[in-house]
Chain A
Amino acid sequence: MIDSKHVILVVEDEPSILDAIVIKLTRKGFVVLEAKNGQEGLDIALQKHPDLILLDIIMPIMDGLTVIKKLKEDEWGKTVPVLLLTNLSDSESISESAKVDRSDFLIKSDWTLEEVTTKINQKLNII
């Protein structure tokens, strides 16, 4: 269990995936915020300043890449760690355009919940 309560924002439009991640992270001791589209995610992020954002790319209203672009217009938003969730095959060019590290790109068909949690811990330097 994590001692300090890190806050994770999960932005994902697929209800079953959102629910699964929220439950898993809550059980692991994180405080979890959730949003079902990019606009909602951006609003919550700028308001609540979570420690990390788990962000889907393909979403209604505002997609993940636009969210990243708008986050980078904010002083805080430039520094917040972001992990991207996607099923897109062309992840290399997308990570380049999003200026996101290739290793922060999680393909949904490859990553299990436990692995996502481990990745979050690594990103936040939690042992």
Chain B
Amino acid sequence: MNDMTLMEKTVDTQKIKIAAKDVNVYYGDSHAIKDVNVEIEDKTVTAFIGPSGCGKSTFLRCLNRMNDTIDICKVKGDILLDGEDIYDKRVDPVQLRAKVGMVFQKPNPFPKSIYDNVAYGPRIHGLAKNKAELDEIVEKSLRRGAIWDEVKDRLDAPGTGLSGGQQQRLCIARAVATEPEVLLMDEPCSALDPIATAQVEELIDELRSRYSVVIVTHSMQQAARVSQKTAFFHLGNLVEFGLTGQIFTNPEDPRTESYITGRIG
């Protein structure tokens, strides 16, 4: 495992962006997340790994209350964003999601032009006063999404006409356009080929300089490559959480070791 050399990547201690305390999630009768405590740092890539159905995506979706759209889903415990409880009654999930952006497993651009895909968020949040400002935001976001050079000549073309990897980078640009503070990524590369995956991973590393990034992934190599912190979920429990290098080379829990060596999952 050559990827393990990445453990030498510098990890500065950052301030805590999201703190989850004793989080329990229920889908009707089934207990999906059990007493999870985790602290996600600013300007850091945090990876959630674990076998299918372990609750890592569910937990990710709790962080910007996307689970609200599911009627039977109940969340207990506290999730604090900059010290504020995001499940407080006074919190409007719409405002929260502007701060905590999300990129999904399957690239899901709107069936509109590339420009409109990126401009949609800034438009509904009123981030641009006029067309020139909006143009600027779109260009900046597409550049941050590392897709500007490929699409700058066809901003009016439909976003759905791009290739899978381009679509996913467009979705990242779209998420970045609303200037979020945290970017959640739910298996962003699972539908992409290795080249597109490499491009997106490179992008994630660049995004770290501005945002706190949380990424759910099935690929342990990917977690090792892009993240500084890794959390291992198993059957709804957070088994181990720590520096990525530590988790992959010297895990404390035997379940973590079994998983990363391929014996469970």
Please say whether chains A and B are actual partners in one complex.
no
